[in-house]
Amino acid sequence: MKRLILVCVVFSLLGAGLATRTDAEVRVRTTPDGEYDSTVIVPGGDPWQQGIWSSRTRGSLRRGSIVLNPQGDRYGDLLPAVGEPSMAPHHPFVVWSRFNGTDYDLVYSSWRYGWSAIEPVSTVTIGGDDLDPNVAFSRAGVPLVAWWNSDLEDGHGTVYYSVYSGSRWVEPVRISHATLGGRYPVFDVRHDIVVINYESDDGLVRLSYELPTFDPTTITDDIDPQGLLSDGSVSVSGKGLKNRN
């Protein structure tokens, strides 16, 4: 079984009242023949302001195609979500929130013998902060991402998901309950069934959205599957509510 992420936690040493700064990085570890092995995330920075994105060593800088987003901490990029397909060669997708000057948008990069250019997940302007992405792969190896958007005025949460078409992410599909809101989505992939679990704005209700079954070959740049991807089912559970489909 391939290891999705190797997380190395670097603790700052405290001694004599002095805090030691550590360096951070997000990079791919490869085998001697250049094949993908694992994605390594090393947090660092000052103890009171930990970062994740900088580059740790001159050696890492020489491996520029391996280190991802070394300037991210400078611009306030948030923690990345990494997904790795179960099928070889297990090349990962990385999605994270990047500040655009007004709010946070999702961006992504993928690895295929080098990191791809960092690009937005969606070209559709939603407004508000796009937060807490979760990355998964369908059984057929199709990349999926879910996240929630926080309204800048009232904080109301809306959960979205998107499917990667082969060269881009399709237009986001809103799945959350309009009244209850939604946040913190997490994928649950079971064989051919893909479910997104999330919670209401107040945290009292758990909701689930079962993605419609679709043929991955229909997810292309020429055929927009927006209507197909919206045809899922929702279940709600929580205090004072009954389950429903």
- Is the domain of 129 the same as that of 231? yes
Lowest pLDDT segment from 21-30, 31-40, 130-139, 224-233: 224-233
Last residue in a domain, options 26, 60, 84: 84
Other C-beta atoms closer than 10 Å to the C-beta of 84 total: 21
Last residue in a domain, options 84, 110, 138: 84
Q: How far apart are CA 160 and CA 145, in angstroms?
A: 8
Is the previous residue joined to 89 through a cis bond, with omega within 30 degrees of 0? yes
Tell me, yes or no, whether 93 lies in a domain.
no
Tell me, yes or no, whether 91 lies in a domain.
no
* Secondary structure (DSSP) of 27-70: EEEE-TTS-EEEEEEE-EEETTEEESSS---HHHHHTTTTB--T
- Is the domain of 59 the same as that of 147? no
Strand 93-99 versus strand 104-110 pairing type:
antiparallel
In this predicted structure, what is the pLDDT of residue 219? 54
Work out the average pLDDT over 102-121: 94
In this predicted structure, what is the pLDDT of residue 119? 96
Q: Which residues, in sequence order, are CB contacts of 60 under 8 Å at separation 6+?
A: 25, 27, 66, 67
Percent of the chain with pLDDT over 70: 71
In this predicted structure, what is the pLDDT of residue 58? 46
Condensed to tens digits (0 to 9), the pLDDT of residues 161-198 reads 999 988 889 999 999 988 999 999 999 998 788 999 99
Work out the average pLDDT over 203-224: 71
CATH of the domain at 210: 2.120.10.10
Condensed to tens digits (0 to 9), the pLDDT of residues 77-91 reads 999 999 999 888 899
Tell me, yes or no, whether 52 lies in a domain.
yes
The more confident residue out of 136 and 48 is 136
Q: Quick one: pLDDT band at residue 234, thresholds 50, 70, 90?
A: low
In this predicted structure, what is the pLDDT of residue 235? 66
- Is the domain of 162 the same as that of 241? yes
Cα separation of the two ends of the chain: 35
- Is the domain of 129 the same as that of 233? yes
Domains contained in the chain, number: 2
Q: How far is CA 161 from CA 17, 135, 175, in A?
A: 46, 10, 7
**Residue whose C-alpha is closest to residue 209's, from 235, 229, 191:** 235
Tell me, yes or no, whether 108 lies in a domain.
no
- Is the domain of 67 the same as that of 156? no
Other C-beta atoms closer than 10 Å to the C-beta of 233 total: 12
- Give the structural domain span for 154: 121-245
- Is the domain of 55 the same as that of 150? no
